[in-house]
Amino acid sequence: MIIYIYDIKNLQVVARPVIKNYEEFKAEPTKFYPDWDIANHLSSETEFQNPIMDNGVVREKTREELILLDNKLELLQDGEYIENNKIIVVDPPHYLYKKSWNKETNIWEEGATQDEIDIEVNKLIDEFTILGEQKERWIKYGFDVLDIENQMAENIMKRNYLLTINPIL
């Protein structure tokens, strides 16, 4: 088994002694690492890629710590940005057809192309005609058509929204 010895000041691994068990190392650390100094070193059974001290214990940094402390902005997901040393999460608006996060302005934008809009509008028209036919059949046989009418209204709203989009080129 390998034990990882960290320098407390910079949290770099300074040694990797091979031992039989961790308890044996803790009992006599200088036997395995002659330069051991409890004031300057920490030991762990784990080698951390991004170590941090937390109440005297070394552990892996969280994603948030990597972003905020190490400025690893590439770890930010769509809809996230930093403000006042906090990660702010912005949920995308429900009405966007193809959600696109603008990292410069920190806002959600419509990301659909004209071809994508045209295809979706045609799909919605097809669905609307099917709903209309279904509504007629249900009326003919005396069934309640409120759900179908609600679906048709939602379809119209989606199509109207898509037709107002200024697509990306």
CB contact at 8 A, 5 and 14: yes
Cα(111)–Cα(97) distance, integer angstroms: 8
Per-residue model confidence (pLDDT) at position 56: 83
The answer to whether residues 113 and 169 belong to one domain is yes
The answer to whether residues 45 and 13 belong to one domain is yes
Per-residue model confidence (pLDDT) at position 168: 58
The answer to whether residues 83 and 46 belong to one domain is no
The answer to whether residues 86 and 137 belong to one domain is no
The amino acid occupying position 110 is: E
98 DSSP 8-state letter = S
165: nearest Cα among 84, 103, 93: 93
The answer to whether residues 119 and 168 belong to one domain is yes
Per-residue model confidence (pLDDT) at position 94: 86
Per-residue model confidence (pLDDT) at position 165: 85
Q: How far is CA 88 from the centre of its chain?
A: 12
The answer to whether residues 115 and 125 belong to one domain is yes
The answer to whether residues 168 and 114 belong to one domain is yes
| Tokens representing residue 163 in the block | 């037709």
Per-residue model confidence (pLDDT) at position 167: 62
Beta strand 51-54 with 41-44 is: unpaired
Would you give per-residue pLDDT tens digits along the chain (169 residues)?
999 999 999 999 999 999 999 999 999 999 999 999 999 999 999 999 999 999 888 999 999 999 999 999 999 999 999 999 999 999 999 888 899 999 999 999 999 998 999 999 999 999 999 999 999 999 999 999 999 999 999 999 999 999 888 765 5
Cα(77)–Cα(37) distance, integer angstroms: 41
The domain in which residue 76 lies consists of 61-90
Count of domains forming the chain: 3
Which of 13, 41, 60 is where one domain is finished?
A: 60
Cα(111)–Cα(108) distance, integer angstroms: 9
